[in-house]
Amino acid sequence: MKTTIISFLILANSMSFAQIEITDQPGSTWYNAVWQKHQMSQISKENLLAMKRNFSTENFQDTLRNYDWIDLGGYLFIDKSTTSGYNEQKPSYKIIRLDEGDTVLQFSYDAAYSQMDQGTISHTNFKETRSMQPVWKVKQINGKWFLHDVNNNEYLHLISYQNGILIYDIPMNGKSSDTKFFSRNILMAFPKAFAWSKTSN
């Protein structure tokens, strides 16, 4: 697999080891608010796949910086199926936040046993891995919009952004000209509700 797919699998799965709980835990209200917005933002598989590229949001770099981004899953073209638990209530969420220099920070919320809203947020943002983390810059090429991962010189294809829901495709080869894709993914904008810094955690 090409670097783009590998880097995003790392982004998705790195939560499973060496997690450190953040100091500033937002409490149960955070999960309940995320789940409420998630329910209001659900997209059927059919509608997700039928979406045509219509991304045209101006100043989207600032939008990326101003919110946390909750991973709602999506569709895996390679498996011809949605991701596990798609459109279901989740005991865990992956969270993305842009740091200084637009480096992608990675957090995860994990529920405490059967109590969905009693979990904790952890991070995997270690200085040892910082140079490997994506750096996202919004870029327009030939009238189409992309997230350019500057660290790897690879591109995510921006499909749509409406009502706080970002749809993007991960290309098989990481190129802006790619027409074959690994997956279609959904990120939900959510107000930042916890603090984190390299010095405090």
Radius of gyration of the chain (CA): 16
Residue 200 in any domain: the answer is: no
Neighbours of 193 (CB within 10 A): 14
Read off the CATH number of the domain in which 48 is found: 2.40.128
Name which of 181, 199, 193, 197 is nearest 5 in CA terms.
181
* 106, two tokens: 């990675």
Model confidence over 153-186: pLDDT tens digits? 999 999 999 999 999 999 999 999 999 999 999 9
Residue 196 in any domain: the answer is: no
What's the domain count of the chain?
1
Write the CA distances from 70 to 8, 92, 103, 127, 198, integer angstroms. 15, 10, 16, 23, 21
Residue 60 in any domain: the answer is: yes
Q: Which residues have C-beta within 8 Å of that of residue 161, sequence separation ≥ 6?
A: 55, 57, 60, 63, 167
Residue 35 in any domain: the answer is: yes
Residue 197 in any domain: the answer is: no
Asked whether the whole model's pTM tops 0.85, one would answer yes
Residue 198 in any domain: the answer is: no
Give me the residue label for tokens 């199926």.
81
Residue 7 in any domain: the answer is: yes
Domain assignment of residue 88, given as a range? 3-191
The residue ranking higher by pLDDT, 186 or 27, is 186
